[in-house]
A and B are shown apart, each in its own frame.
Chain A
Amino acid sequence: MSLPAPTLRKTALFDLHEQQGARIVPFAGWAMPVQYRGIVEEHHAVRRRAGVFDVSHMGRLFVAGAGAAALLRSALTYDVASLPEARGHYALLCNEDGGIIDDPYVYRLDAQRFLFVGNAANAARDRDLVAAHVQPDMDAELLDRQEQTVMLAVQGPAAEAYVARLLGPPVAAMGTRACTELPFMGTKLFVSRTGYTGEDGFELVGSVEAGRAIWRQLVTDGVEPCGLGARDTLRLEAALPLWGHDIDETTDPYEAGLGWVVSLDDGADFPGRAALARVKQAGTTRRLTCLRATGRGVVRDGCPLLRGGEPVGSVTSGGYSPTLATSVAMAYLPVALAREGTELAVDVRGRTLPVVVVKRPFVRGTPPRPPTP
C-alpha cells in the first residue's frame, strides 16, 4: 500500500533551485533544496567566503500598531517591548509549563512595527497564538507575509561585501542584530544583520520579484547557493539549538541554556512565566551540552549516551562537522556530567563511539560586528 504524497509547498525561488541542480527534499511541509554542489562544499563556502540560503519557508509575521509592543511582550518570554528601534532579538514562545513552543527572532522596525520570524513547522500556530493575545481594545494588526515575500540569508565573512555591493555601502555599517528597511526595485526590503550559521551575515525579506533578483545577482557574483544540509551543519557547529530537536515543548529555556531570553524582571506576564520563575529558583537538573567525538564515526539524533554502560541521555542533534572533520552532537546531560572534559560513550547502532564534553560553540565564526549604540 502506498499513500498519496502530500502536496508540498514551494518557495517563489523553486524553479531557480531546480535550474541550479538542487536536490529537493520535503521539509516541514515544504519542498526545499537540501544541497546544490554538496553539503561540505557549501558549508566551507559559508565559513570562508559567503553563501546564500532560501529561507522563505520560515514564518514571517508583521505586527503593527500602537499596541504591537505590548501584544508581543504578552506572548513572548523576552522583553521585546524594551527593544530599541532597528534592532532584533531572539525570543521564545512558551506554554504554561514553560515548554518551548517556538523560538522566533523578533525585529523592531520602529516604535509600532515588528517582524516575527518563526520556524516553518510552527508558522501557522505561532500566528494563531500571537493572535490569541490580542485584546479588544488593543491597536495591533497581524500581517502574515509568508506567501507574499521571499526571505534570504546571506552568510559568511564576505557577506558584507556582497550585500553592500547590491544594496549600497550603508548596510556595511549595520551592527549585529541591527535591522532596517531599504528601498529596492520600487518596494521596501527588510535587511537585518542576523543569521543561523555562527557567521556574520544578513537576512533579507522582500517582494517575490526583489527576492528572485537578489538571489540571481548574488549567485552571479559568486555567492555559493546553499541548501538546508549546510544550514544544519553550520548551525550545529555554532551550537545553535534547532526547534523540534534540541528544544521543544518538553524542554525549558534554562536547561537549554536560553535563560538569557527569559525576562522575569519587567513585571510583564506571558505564558509560562510562573513555571519558569520556579525553574529559575530551583535550578535545572540537566543541561543541553556539547559533545565532540574522539573516535571515527558519526553521532546521529536519538543515539543513546552512556556513562559506564548506563544510559545518561540521548543525542538531540548529531552530525558531522566539516570544519573540525569529526562528529559533534548536543544532548541533555545531568548537570554533574555536563562539565567540560567529561568522557562519555555514544551507542551508534550498537557500536560504541567515545565522546567528550566540550565548550559551546564547537566552531566560532567571524566575530560579529558589535551592535550599533
Chain B
Amino acid sequence: MPSPDDRRYSKEHEWLKQQGETAYIGITDYAQEQLGDVVYVDLPEAGATIAQFEKMGEIESVKAVSELFAPASGDVLMANEEVVQKPELVNSDPLGAGWLLQVKLSDPSQLDALLTAHQYDDFIAAEAKDQT
C-alpha cells in the first residue's frame, strides 16, 4: 500500500505530519512491520527539544531495540501517553493512533530535507531489495 502523501518521511522511517506550526511524528508502517511486536517506547517529555536527524528516543520490539530519530527540530508539546501505556498501538495503527510525539516546529523549512511519500516508497522498495 502506498504511503499517504499528507505527510513527509525520513530515511530512518519516521513520518511527520504538519498542521500549521505544530506537527505529529510517528514511525511508518514499513518500520513497524520490520520491528514486529512493539512492547516499549521511550519518548522525550513535553518541554524537551529535539533536533533534526538526531536521536530522540527508543522503541523496543520483542526482538530488539531501535533508536528513534527526529525528522525535524522542535519543542515537544506532548508525547502520546496512550502509546506509552499500550505500545501495540504502533503496530496496529502506526500512521494514526500510534503517533509518538506532537511538536512545535522550530524551522518548518527543514521539511524540505524529508522525503515525499513517493520518494519514501521508492526508498523502502530499494531497501527491501537489498535485504534479499
- A residues near B (Cβ < 8 Å) are 23, 34-35, 38-41, 229, 233, 296-298, 300, 319-320, 322, 349, 351
Contact = CB atoms under 8 A, between A and B. Distances in A.
Contacts of B63: 34, 39, 229
Interface residues of B, number: 11
Which of A41, A320, A349 neighbours the largest number of chain B CB atoms within 10 Å of its CB?
Answer: A320
Interface string B31-56: 00000110110100000000000000
Contacts of B39: 298, 320
B97 interface: no
10 contacts: A38-B36, A39-B37, A296-B84, A297-B40, A298-B39, A298-B40, A298-B60, A300-B65, A320-B60, A322-B37
B79 to A, nearest CB: 13
B125 interface: no
B62 interface: yes
Given A40-B62, A233-B62, A298-B65, 19 more contacts: A23-B36, A35-B36, A38-B36, A38-B37, A39-B36, A39-B37, A39-B63, A229-B63, A296-B84, A297-B40, A297-B60, A298-B39, A298-B40, A300-B65, A319-B62, A320-B39, A320-B40, A320-B62, A322-B37
B42 A229 contact: no
A320 B63 CA distance: 9
A34 to B, nearest CB: 7
Contacts of A349: 58, 65
Contact of B40 (A40, A229, A233, A296): A296
Nearest to A319: B62
B29 to A, nearest CB: 14
Nearest to B41: A296
A322 B65 CA distance: 16
A23 B63 CA distance: 12
Contacts of B62: 39-40, 229, 233, 319-320, 322
Interface string B61-79: 0110100000000000000
Which of A38, A41, A300, A351 neighbours the largest number of chain B CB atoms within 10 Å of its CB?
Answer: A38
Contacts of A233: 62
Nearest to B63: A229
Contacts of A39: 36-37, 62-63
A57 B74 CA distance: 50
Nearest to B87: A296
Contacts of A229: 36, 62-63
Contacts of B60: 297-298, 320
Ranked nearest first, the 9 interchain pairs of A and B with the lowest CB-CB distance are A40-B37, A39-B62, A320-B39, A298-B60, A320-B62, A298-B40, A38-B37, A39-B37, A297-B40
Nearest to A35: B36
A86 B42 CA distance: 51
Interface in B64-112: 65, 84
Contacts of B40: 296-298, 320
A300 B39 CA distance: 13
A298 B66 CA distance: 12
Contacts of A300: 65
Nearest to B34: A23
Contacts of B58: 349
Contacts of B36: 23, 35, 38-39, 229
Contact of B42 (A41, A320, A351): A351
B129 to A, nearest CB: 15
B33 to A, nearest CB: 9
Nearest to A34: B63
B37 A297 contact: no
Nearest to B88: A40
A5 B37 CA distance: 28
A296 B58 CA distance: 13
B68 to A, nearest CB: 13
Contacts of B84: 296
A40 B35 CA distance: 12
Contacts of A40: 37, 62
A329 to B, nearest CB: 14
Contacts of A296: 40, 84
Which of B37, B42, B65 neighbours the largest number of chain A CB atoms within 10 Å of its CB?
Answer: B37
Contacts of A23: 36
B70 to A, nearest CB: 18
Contacts of A298: 39-40, 60, 65
